[in-house]
Amino acid sequence: MEYHNPVLLKESVDGLDVKPDGIYVDVTFGGGGHSREILSRLGENGKLYAFDQDKDALANKIEDNRFVLINENFRFLKRFLRFYGVKQVDGILGDFGVSSHQFNEAGRGFSTRFDAKLDMRMNQGDKLSAFEVVNNYEEEQLKKLFYAYADLKNAPKLARTIVSERKNNPIETSEQLNELLKPLLFKGKENKILAQIYQAIRIEVNQEIEVLKEFLLQTEELLKPDGRLSLISYHSLEDRLVKRYIRSGLFEGEPEKDMYGNISVPFKKVSGLIVPSKEEIQQNNRARSAKLRVARKL
């Protein structure tokens, strides 16, 4: 199965500051590129747990007695680590968004390039698919989704067009959706805007924002003091949540101060924002919007 080069491989694993006998978690296993790199830096007593809710990722399982692959959504991070008797870890790595494999597997419906059934589920066992979102969400829900997750100014028009079309025919495939929306897209930017529309639907289908928040809230308890968080995001919504959480332990608002005016925060950032080099973007187009943030647990 084709899984592309992992994004910001060296930088994100460097960010973990791997200790040979440490316990680490890769919450987005995918093709296993980041996991292999972590294992290469672990000694024989080190341990790596990886999560991936997509059954396809199981084909990439690494045969290594220091490695455990858990076929679950990383929103259940704490629960499944407990199951393995792990209460705290030395580092957690996450590379959010869709794997190249998921984009390139036509039948999964993630990409605007293929005509496929509207699906976009990262976990094929989930009930909510892109078909449900496009055909059953109310106009107001669709409008909010296009505003919030794709920042599209013409969200009301997109939502209205979808709702009016589906009264006559269900919208079942990406080709149908693309043809329907093409007239509403700015000339010369059709593909870019379609990709944003698909991104918005995908985020909704997989509850990506809720999942990210649930995950981040567990990291504070799971990381040992001085433990590392190394997280790669691909769109501004995710990156903003990661940045705010690292800065204040909150997603919005400001942390409370004690009577001396000090704030107590769980993390300290280790470096500024890290982005891929020009060379990496040339070799791997998927890297172009990647942003890496690294933090240390206080």
List, for residues 176-213, the tens digit of each pLDDT value.
999 999 999 999 999 999 999 999 999 999 999 999 99
Residue 100's pLDDT is what?
A: 74
Residue 266's pLDDT is what?
A: 94
Estimate to the nearest angstrom the gap between the alpha carbon of 132 and the chain centroid. 21
Residue 4's pLDDT is what?
A: 62
Residue type at 88 in one-letter notation: Q
pLDDT above 70 coverage of the chain, percent: 99
Residue 257's pLDDT is what?
A: 86
> Looking at the chain, which residues constitute the CATH 1.10.150.170 domain(s)?
127-205
pLDDT above 90 coverage of the chain, percent: 86
> Looking at the chain, which residues constitute the CATH 3.40.50.150 domain(s)?
9-100+208-297
Counting as low any pLDDT under 50, the low residues of the chain are: none
| Average pLDDT for the chain | 94
Residues 235, 241 contacting (CB under 8 angstroms): no
Phi-psi bin for 6: left (phi > 0), alpha (psi -120 to 50), beta?
Answer: beta
- pTM for the model stands at 0.94
The secondary structure element, H or E, covering residue 145 is: helix 139-150
93: which strand partners? 26, 230
The CATH number that domain 127-205 falls under is: 1.10.150.170
Instruction: Classify strands 23-26 and 89-95 as parallel, antiparallel or unpaired.
Output: parallel
For residue range 133-182, list pLDDT tens digits in order: 999 999 999 999 999 999 999 999 999 999 999 999 999 999 999 999 99
Instruction: Classify strands 223-233 and 291-297 as parallel, antiparallel or unpaired.
Output: antiparallel
User: In CATH, which superfamily holds the domain spanning 9-100+208-297?
Assistant: Vaccinia Virus protein VP39 (3.40.50.150)
